[in-house]
Amino acid sequence: MKTELLPYRHEVKYYECDRMGITHHSNYIRFMEEARVDWMDQLGYGFDRMEAEGVVSPVVAVECRYRHSTTFKDIIEIQVSVAEMSPLKITFAYTMRVGSQTVCTATSTHCFMENGRPVELDKRFPELYEKIGSKQ
Tell me: the pLDDT tens digits for 16-52? Answer: 999 999 999 999 999 999 999 999 999 988 889 889 9
Mean pLDDT of the chain: 93
**pLDDT per residue as tens digits for the range 50-83:** 899 899 999 999 999 999 999 999 999 999 999 9
Q: Give the closest residue to 87 by CA, choosing from 54, 123, 113, 58.
A: 123
Name which CATH class applies to 8-133: alpha beta
First to last CA, the chain: 12
Q: Domain ranges for the chain, please list them.
A: 8-133
Q: Which percentage of the chain shows pLDDT scores above 90?
A: 77
CB 70 within 8 A of CB 55: no
Predicted confidence at residue 135, as pLDDT, reads 73
pTM of this structure: 0.91
